[in-house]
Each structure stands twice: as C-alpha cells, then as structure tokens.
Amino acid sequence: MADFILEIGIEEMPARFVPRLGEDIEKIFRTLLTDKMIGFEDVKTYATPRRLSVLVAGMDAAQKKVEEEVSGPPARIAYDADGKPTKACEGFARSQGISLDDIYTINTDKGEYLAAKKTIGGSNTVDILPEICLNAISSLSFPKKMKWGSLDFHFGRPLRWLLCLFGDTVVEFELAGMKSGRLTYGHRVMGPGPFDVPEASAYLDIIKNKCSVIISPEERADFVRDEGNRLASELGGAVVWKESLLDEVSNLVELPRPIIGHFDESFLELPAEVLLTSMESHQKCFGIQKEDGKLLAHFLCTLNLEPKDYDLVRKGWEKVLRARLEDARFFWAKDLATDFQVWLDKLEHVVFLGPLGSMGDKSRRIEKLGAKIAAKVEPDLQTEMARAGRIAKADLVSEMVNEFDSLQGKMGGIYAEKKGEEDVVCKAVYEHYLPAGAETPVPSSIGGAIISIADKADTLVGCFGLNKIPTGANDTYALRRAALGIIRILLNFEFQVDVNILFELAWDAYSKDIKWKLSKSETLAKLNDFIANRLRSYFTGQGFKTRVVDAALGAGFSDMSSLKARIEALSDFSKEDDFEQAVLTFKRAANIIRKQGSEEGLVLTGGFDMDSLVEPQEKALAEKIDDTSERFNSLWEQNNFASLLGVLGELRPYVDDFFDHVMVICDDEGLKMNRLNLLKALVDRLSRLADFSALQV
C-alpha cells in the first residue's frame, strides 16, 4: 500500500474551466480504480490554472484476486466420438487462458455445458496505472479544446509536464510527446523549479514550500476573503463580496496576494452599480463600502505573486481603473443630458426578433400588457405600469448600457429617477430583468414583478408563435429561464392570475400584421405544456416526488399559489399509512367515470336523485357527499387542501362500501345513470384536488 500522485501541468487554463476539472477527474479516477479492482483509502483532487492533481491515499500494491466460474460451449459439441477435444473445446480453453485439464462440465436448464474456474486480477498496480492515467486524462471534457503543433491530441490547453508516482516509483507513460516523471514545476515567478519529488507523500509539502503554490481552490478563496476583510477593516469598511467573482479570482491565481487600491473620490458621484461593474467586470476587483452601504474610494484586487514593490503594482491597477471610470463618468453625463423620448425614438431602429418588429414595438406591447396585468393584481398601478413598460427598454440605447450591458434595466431605473419619474415606475424598470436565473432573486417590488412578467410573457408568446420552441439542450432565446422567472414571481407574490390568460393577453398585444407560424390556439396550447414541464422541474427540484407533482398538475395550475399548497398537502397525504389504498379507491371511481363518460359517450352531470337510489350503501354515500358539500367548498375557498384531503378521507369508507355492495353498471338504465352521476359528483371533487391516477405506484 502506498500513496499515488498524478499531476498534469498545463498552460494557464481559463478560470471557468478549473472547478469542473477538479470535480470530473476525481469521479473518473474513483470509477477507474474501482473497475480495475484496485483498493484505496481516498481520492483527492486539486486544480489551479496551471495544474490538475490527483492524490490517492493508501492505494493497494496489487489488484484484488477474484475467482469466477465461466461457462463455455455445450458439452455435446466439445468432444468427438473418440472423446477427443474438438475445436470448440480448444477454443474455449484458449480464450480463457486455461489448460484442457482445467475444464469440467456443469448441468444447466439447457443441458450440459463446459465450464472452468478462472482467476482474474492480481496484477501489480504499477503496471495498470499507465492505462488508468491515460484513460482519465482523455476522459476529461472541456467547453472548448485545442491542439498544438503537429500532435494529434486535443486538450483544454497545451500540456507542459506530467508527474506520476506510485510511492517512490515513477509510473511510466507517454502523452502528447511527453513522458511522465518525478519533476514538478512551481509558480512561474515565486518558485519556477523544476523540483524533484522523491515520493508521492512528499508532493503537497513540496508544492507549498518550494513551488509557492496554494493548490486548494478553497484555501485560495478563503485566503483572499480573510486577507481582504482584514485590509478593508483597516480602512473602516467592508468588502462587497460577490461569490461568483471570488470563485473566478481564486481560479485565476496560484499564489493570491490581495492588496488595496484607491481612486479619486470625485468618481463617487457615479451610481454604485456603475462603480462596482467597472471594478468587477473589467478588473476582477471588489468594492469596499461603509456601514451605511455607501462605497468608499477604495477597491480590493488580487495579485498572483509577491511583488517587490507593492506601491508600483498598486499604481498600475489604479491607472487602468481610472481610465474605466473616466469613460463611465463621460457616459453618465451624456446620458443624463438625453431625454427618454430620444431613446424611445432610437428603439424603433433596434430589432427585437425578425418578424416581431423592433424594440420600440416591444416596449409598446409591454406598456399595454403591464397595464392589463396591473388591472388584475394591483388596479391602482395601471397608469404607472403602462409608463414603466413603455420606458423599460429605453436604456438599451444609452451610452452606459452600450459599455456595460450587464447594467440594462438597472440604469434605466436610475435614469428614470434622475429624470423625475415616479418611484414605483423607477423601481419597476430597475428590477424588470429579474430573476435572471434560477439562483437570482425575484423583483422586490410589485411593479418590478408586473413588468418582469409582461416582458417575459411577450418574449415567450412571440417565440412560440414563430415556432421557435426549445428542443433538447437548445434554448437560443432563454425561454426556459423566462418561463421559470414567471413561475417564481407568481409563486412569490401569490398573484391569483391564470398564466394562460397572461399569455392570451400577450398574444393580443401583438400587431395583427405579424406572420405567425402557429395559430393562437396552437401557440397557447404549446405554452401550456411548456409551463407544465417547467412547473414539474421546479417542484421536483424543491424535493417533491414526481408523482405528487404530476397529480397536482393534472388537476390544473391556473392558480400557482394554490398549486403549491395542493402539492404540499398531497406530499403529506402520500406519507400516510393507508395512502396507497385510498388512491386505489378514488382512482377506481375516476376510471369508471372516464370509461362510461368520455369513452362510452354518456353525458354525466354529477346531479343525482337521492330518492331514486336503492341500496343502503349508495344512499349512505350520497348523504355523505351532500353533508360535506358546503364544508368542501368553504375549505376550497380558503386553500385549505390538507383539510380537503381529510374530507376525502371521511368519504373513503363510504366509497369502499359502495363498491363492495353496489353494481354500478346494472340493467336498469335509469338506475345506472343515477349511480354514475353519484360517482361523477365524487370525481368532480377529486379532480379539483389531483389526478389520482398519477399518484398510484
């Protein structure tokens, strides 16, 4: 048993590649070692921009030995009339690497067959590792690969060295014209090397103390955070941490060294969003703020070395940032001097999407749709939402957004405030791109929610009407994200508005001159299915079982807030001891109604005549349905679905008794129809809660 190290030295890898590589090669190595029956204690991987390392602790020196019985051809063709082995018998022995004396026969259901005991495994680990290493490296995937020179080899970046040791023994293999060895290389400036690694267990110590590399991404991120917090506190401030940027920075460096930079306080007149975007997007720096949230004229940047002159390096960062901020100040002043109407006029010349017209057309549709949605959820805001919808896209042609496109919407809200628009309008414009993804927040204001829904619904309807519907992984117009955004907003704000009506309003807002690929009914039907699939993904992602979600969706999702409550109630119901039997009972009733109604063509209304019922069991069920009717409707109005399922629990014994003693499909046509309508009254209640057929295992 010994430790093992594989280090793949590479040219600087893009930061976005690094975390995934570390995760992937760990899974790959664990799988390969297990498949080859090589025991080990643990596998750890480390990734920096210039190296990918796999460290396996306690790897066995040899494969495990396993004896297994292998079967061969039928015994009747294995020997000739003289008892001599045939070619079939000899071929079996040869293929298994055994002698003829090792072969015996076994009885099976199909007769006698040749068999033999075969021992597999037992090879030395060091002899198997070259194949494992080559397979692991070739199995790595990249968003983009490259090749170099005349080599017929593709990788994320050119390879520069290969270190591979099992204990103190070099695991020899060749890849991309390089041979593996025991040399590693350090930080380009602080410890270039090469350094001899005598054995695998010495690797981490050499990397840290000689190579001047912090090999763990988590340790690099923690170091930047801790040192950044310390430096910022000395200035009486705190770092404005952005986790995605911190991850990126920690994967851009091997030896992080945070330092504080400064800029002229006159730039603080710019919005904080502009300052932070200038720092984060272009310089990979963090802002520093006071306790009240206002920015200080300082920033935190991260070096990838220990400089001889910190002041000289700091001035370089400050010079570059100052140029960015000067540009931003110019854009800010120019935009403030521009009237919204100028921007709205320019939108007429910005294409939204081919046949769907310009961004000016889109802004007028959002204007109409915003007012109509407000009429349903917040009638007092109709005028304000119309205005917010009209100017929501105006900042797309502003100088600032042309430079910093990630500020679209935000700058629109800021400019709206500066130009005297009402607060609710400014907030709605500022937030209308939210949520921008599954992990980003929904708008905090009702105005932002309304305009966000209007914008996303307009895009969805337009793309679906043109039959630009996502297929597989292809989603050019981010329609899944738009649909999920609408879902999250409706759930968060508990808007009691049918999403299908929203899409119908969005369709009606389009010009009659649009040359659609799909009709209105086809578009809305496909959107309904699309939203259902997004809802299924959303709720199963929240931990609810698929059958529970499907059952709730089967009863409709016009009111998403009530859908959520039904899913939660059904989830609790599914955990009860008699759940399966209850589902079978209610499903039986639903199946009878479906077969006799839609399939047989009978018109069932759910209205039954109590006096025409004959059997005591059907009378008891009818009385129980009547007795619980008012309570059921009251609980429905309250969205109290847990209690509604409790009412079904009260009904279930009566339903079971009914099925045990009553023949529904009887010869008396009038009695049959009355009994079917009795079940229809029950099923009408069930179908409001769930599709019980989806709940059965």
The three-class DSSP label of residue 357 is: coil
Residue ranges of the chain whose pLDDT lies below 50: none
The confidence score (pLDDT) of residue 546 equals 92
> Are residues 523 and 579 located together in one domain of the fold?
no
Say which residues have a Cβ less than 8 Å from residue 158's Cβ, sequence separation at least 6.
Answer: 10, 11, 146, 148, 176
> Are residues 492 and 389 located together in one domain of the fold?
yes
Cis link prior to 198 (omega < 30° from 0)? no
Say which residues have a Cβ less than 8 Å from residue 682's Cβ, sequence separation at least 6.
Answer: 589, 621, 625, 651, 655
> Are residues 367 and 512 located together in one domain of the fold?
yes
Q: What is the DSSP letter of 640?
A: -
Domain of residue 78: give its range.
67-121
Residue-wise pLDDT for 452-485, tens only, equals 999 999 999 999 999 999 988 788 899 999 999 9
> Are residues 395 and 475 located together in one domain of the fold?
yes
Q: Does any domain span residue 315?
A: yes
CA-nearest of 5, 129, 117 to 68 is: 117
The confidence score (pLDDT) of residue 313 equals 93
The confidence score (pLDDT) of residue 697 equals 56
Where does a domain end: 183, 209, 235? 209
The confidence score (pLDDT) of residue 599 equals 62
Q: Does any domain span residue 554?
A: no
Q: Are strands 195-196 and 178-179 parallel, antiparallel or unpaired?
A: unpaired
Structure tokens at 225: 């955070």
Longest alpha-carbon distance in the chain:
108
Q: Does any domain span residue 548?
A: no
> Are residues 176 and 55 located together in one domain of the fold?
yes
The confidence score (pLDDT) of residue 214 equals 95
> Are residues 235 and 263 located together in one domain of the fold?
yes
CB-based contact 389:383 (threshold 8 Å): no
> Are residues 191 and 235 located together in one domain of the fold?
no
**Distance from the first to the final alpha carbon of the chain:** 48
Q: Does any domain span residue 549?
A: no
Q: Does any domain span residue 280?
A: yes
Identify residue 22 by its one-letter amino acid code.
G
Q: Does any domain span residue 646?
A: yes
The confidence score (pLDDT) of residue 598 equals 64
The confidence score (pLDDT) of residue 595 equals 81
Q: What is the DSSP letter of 14?
A: P
Residue-wise pLDDT for 416-433, tens only, equals 999 999 999 999 999 999
CB-based contact 7:51 (threshold 8 Å): yes
Alpha helices (runs of H) in 179-251, residue ranges in sequence order: 203-209, 217-234, 243-250
Cis link prior to 435 (omega < 30° from 0)? yes
Q: Does any domain span residue 252?
A: yes
Which residue's entry shows tokens 């009385």?
A: 623
User: What is the helix (H) or strand (E) element at residue 387, kind and residue range?
Assistant: helix 382-391
CA-nearest of 359, 419, 411 to 389 is: 359
Q: Does any domain span residue 552?
A: no
CA-nearest of 287, 282, 270 to 324 is: 282
> Are residues 177 and 229 located together in one domain of the fold?
no
Identify residue 46 by its one-letter amino acid code.
Y
Say which residues have a Cβ less than 8 Å from residue 663's Cβ, sequence separation at least 6.
Answer: none
Query: pTM for this structure?
Result: 0.81
> Are residues 56 and 75 located together in one domain of the fold?
no
> Are residues 393 and 427 located together in one domain of the fold?
yes
> Are residues 52 and 150 located together in one domain of the fold?
yes
- Residue 17: how many CA atoms within 13 Å on its side-chain side? 19
- Report the number of distinct structural domains present in the chain: 5
Where does a domain end: 305, 336, 367? 336
Give the separation between CA 145 and CA 206, rounded to whole angstroms. 30
The confidence score (pLDDT) of residue 659 equals 87
Give the separation between CA 534 and CA 547, rounded to whole angstroms. 15
Where does a domain end: 149, 181, 209? 209
The confidence score (pLDDT) of residue 106 equals 85
Write the CATH number for 460: 1.10.3210
> Are residues 487 and 427 located together in one domain of the fold?
yes
Give the separation between CA 410 and CA 436, rounded to whole angstroms. 13
Give the separation between CA 19 and CA 249, rounded to whole angstroms. 12
Positive or negative, the CA dihedral 403, 408, 411, 412 is positive
